[in-house]
């Protein structure tokens, strides 16, 4: 979703500071004894935190991260925005796959990472969350100030008149249009609620249109090749401006829409802490990097800071 950047991982640090990281462990107690962990706490303590979150926050909720480590590669590329706008067949393919993948997203529940961030926000330690996720799990965990950079799958918008419909309502309409269709046939799931399906099946799928004007519908999410809406970006910058430290949680920062916050933090001298599994595009800009499962690390962080 959003724009792909051109830069690659693994650039050397240019500021001469040593970057610390350690091997992931499932035991929070080991994490809590590590030097990187102490440095992370020292960096975050007493500073207003703004969190930038990505797919890695939701993997432990059963929503796979197709960019991160240890995940299933998608057989085909995600649909591009221009293709979606220009082709009935593409929209049919999207909705057939989305119809099938939706159940998994709809039933996902927040994990310890989401709950820890919500807890830190309630305590006034975290000012808010800028997220690349479209699953609404931060809201489900109780976070209140969440800027959804890439929108939310929970909403559907009419491309002609702008009318909104909830995805749950649309799912019911799609179900009645396709009574023969089973929602459990997907062989592979992706974090945007997409799923892999056979072409002959897709040809039989009947798509739904806007209830108001019969226009074409689109999930209210930012597709690949589509820009993040300016009001959303403005809100994200307003939140970012409150940050005394930027905490990146569960994002490889491969997408520019998220990476730009890290870049600006670096430009302004705002410290950056990264908690993630696997390398990120912001590693050479980070003051501290801790490697590990967010469902373990963020609750430990919350306990230590509160
Ligand atoms: Zn409409």
- For residue 215, the CA-to-ligand 1 centroid distance in Å is 5
Is the Cβ–Cβ distance between 3 and 256 less than 8 Å?
yes
- Whether 189 sits among the annotated catalytic residues: the reply is no
- For residue 208, the CA-to-ligand 1 centroid distance in Å is 11
Q: How confident is the model at residue 33 (pLDDT cuts 50, 70, 90)?
A: low
Q: How confident is the model at residue 188 (pLDDT cuts 50, 70, 90)?
A: low
- For residue 170, the CA-to-ligand 1 centroid distance in Å is 13
- For residue 209, the CA-to-ligand 1 centroid distance in Å is 8
- For residue 39, the CA-to-ligand 1 centroid distance in Å is 52
pLDDT in tens, 154-173: 999 999 999 999 999 999 99
Range in 7-11, 114-118, 268-272 the model is least confident about: 7-11
Is the Cβ–Cβ distance between 273 and 245 less than 8 Å?
yes
Tell me the whole-structure pTM to 2 decimals: 0.83
Whether 5 has a pLDDT exceeding 50, the answer reads no
Provide mean pLDDT across the span 58-66.
81
- For residue 160, the CA-to-ligand 1 centroid distance in Å is 5
**What pLDDT score was predicted for residue 105?**
82
Q: Which of 114, 138, 139, 150 is catalytic?
A: 150
d(CA 171, CA 102): 8
Mean residue pLDDT of the chain comes to: 84
Instruction: Give 128 or 12, the one with higher predicted confidence.
Output: 128
> What is the SS3 assignment for 172?
helix
Cα distances (angstroms) measured from residue 257 to each of 38, 105, 131, 222: 30, 22, 10, 10
Is the Cβ–Cβ distance between 216 and 158 less than 8 Å?
yes
Domains parsed from the chain with CATH numbers: 17-305 (3.40.50.1220)
CA angle (287, 64, 230) in 5-degree steps: 65
Whether 140 has a pLDDT exceeding 60, the answer reads yes
pLDDT in tens, 208-250: 999 999 999 999 999 888 999 999 999 999 999 999 999 999 9
- For residue 105, the CA-to-ligand 1 centroid distance in Å is 25
Range in 102-106, 117-121, 149-153, 175-179 the model is least confident about: 102-106
């Amino acid at each position: 979703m959003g724009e792909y950047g051109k830069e690659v991982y693994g650039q050397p640090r240019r500021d001469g500071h040593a970057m610390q990281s350690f091997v992931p462990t499932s035991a929070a107690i080991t994490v809590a004894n590590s030097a990187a962990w102490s440095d992370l706490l020292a960096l975050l303590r007493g500073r207003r935190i703004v969190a930038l979150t990505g797919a890695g926050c939701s993997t432990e909720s059963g929503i796979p991260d197709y960019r991160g480590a240890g995940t299933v590669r998608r057989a085909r590329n995600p649909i591009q925005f221009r293709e979606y706008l220009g082709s009935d067949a593409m929209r049919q393919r999207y909705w057939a796959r989305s119809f099938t993948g939706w159940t998994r997203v709809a039933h996902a529940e927040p994990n310890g990472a989401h709950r820890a961030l919500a807890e830190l926000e309630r305590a006034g330690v975290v000012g808010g969350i800028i997220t690349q996720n479209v699953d609404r799990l931060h809201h489900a965990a109780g976070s209140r100030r969440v800027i959804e950079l890439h929108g939310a799958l929970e909403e559907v918008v009419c491309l002609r008149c702008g009318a909104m419909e909830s995805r749950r309502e649309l799912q019911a309409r799609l179900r009645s249009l396709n009574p023969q269709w089973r929602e459990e046939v997907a062989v592979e799931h992706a974090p945007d609620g997409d799923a892999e399906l056979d072409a002959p099946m897709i040809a039989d799928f009947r798509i739904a249109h806007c209830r108001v004007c019969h226009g074409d519908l689109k999930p209210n999410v930012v597709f690949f090749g589509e820009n993040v809406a300016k009001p959303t970006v403005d809100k994200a910058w307003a939140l970012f401006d409150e940050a005394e430290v930027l905490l990146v949680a569960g994002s490889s920062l491969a997408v520019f829409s998220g990476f730009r916050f890290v870049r600006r933090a670096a430009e302004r001298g705002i410290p950056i802490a990264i908690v993630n599994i696997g390398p990120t595009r912001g590693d050479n800009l980070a003051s501290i990097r801790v490697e590990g499962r967010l469902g373990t690390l963020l609750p430990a962080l919350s306990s230590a800071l509160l």
